């Protein structure tokens, strides 16, 4: 199975890995970049995705292992990704460059798994991961 994650270039303090797309848009909210209506839409989207996409339980403990999540390349994850138009649109509108990293093997030690994603820690330095800029095109 293939795995992928969509992220910014800058790395998170805890994981030492690039911050994911949910964090990218969350930072736009924190910095008061979004309009009032966009911020309302952000909270609607966040509530929805927290309901339909399981939030790995290690986040409740402030992610002590520094795990990062990767989408599985399957129909369930594809459906979630297709629904994430708001996140892609906000990154595109506000100039947040996104990248997609892909790998054919599990990129570390699995600490969590569900139908959509895996979370791994201890990513090997020599992991075969390809990364390229993600170009968003509105459909």
What's the rounded Cα separation, in Å, for the pair 129 and 117?
16
**For residue 124, what pLDDT is reported?**
87
Q: What is the pTM of this model?
A: 0.89
Chain segment 117-128, per-residue pLDDT in tens: 999 999 888 889
**For residue 14, what pLDDT is reported?**
87
Chain segment 73-99, per-residue pLDDT in tens: 999 999 999 999 999 999 999 999 999
Q: Return the DSSP state at 14.
A: T
Tell whether the model's pLDDT for residue 4 goes beyond 90.
Answer: yes
Q: Identify the CA nearest to 101 among candidates 131, 71, 74, 78.
A: 131
Chain segment 37-80, per-residue pLDDT in tens: 999 999 999 999 999 999 999 999 999 999 999 999 999 999 99
β strands within 79-128, DSSP E: 98-103, 109-113, 117-121
Distances from the Cα of 3 to the Cαs of 12, 34, 39, 78, in angstroms? 20, 30, 30, 11
Tell whether the model's pLDDT for residue 139 goes beyond 60.
Answer: no
Structure-block tokens of residue 93 = 């509108």
**For residue 137, what pLDDT is reported?**
66
């Amino acid at each position: 199975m293939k795995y992928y994650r969509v992220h910014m270039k800058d790395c998170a303090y805890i994981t030492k890995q690039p911050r994911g797309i949910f964090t990218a848009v969350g930072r736009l909210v924190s910095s008061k970049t979004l309009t009032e209506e966009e911020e309302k839409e952000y909270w609607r989207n966040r509530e929805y995705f927290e309901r339909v996409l399981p939030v790995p339980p290690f986040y409740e403990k402030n992610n002590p292992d520094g795990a990062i999540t990767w989408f599985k390349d399957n129909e369930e994850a594809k459906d979630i990704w297709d629904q994430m138009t708001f996140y892609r649109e906000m990154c595109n509108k506000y100039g947040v460059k996104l990248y997609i990293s892909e790998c054919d093997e599990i990129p570390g030690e699995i600490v969590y798994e569900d139908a959509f994603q895996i979370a791994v820690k201890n990513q090997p330095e020599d992991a075969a991961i390809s990364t390229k800029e993600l170009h968003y095109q509105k459909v």
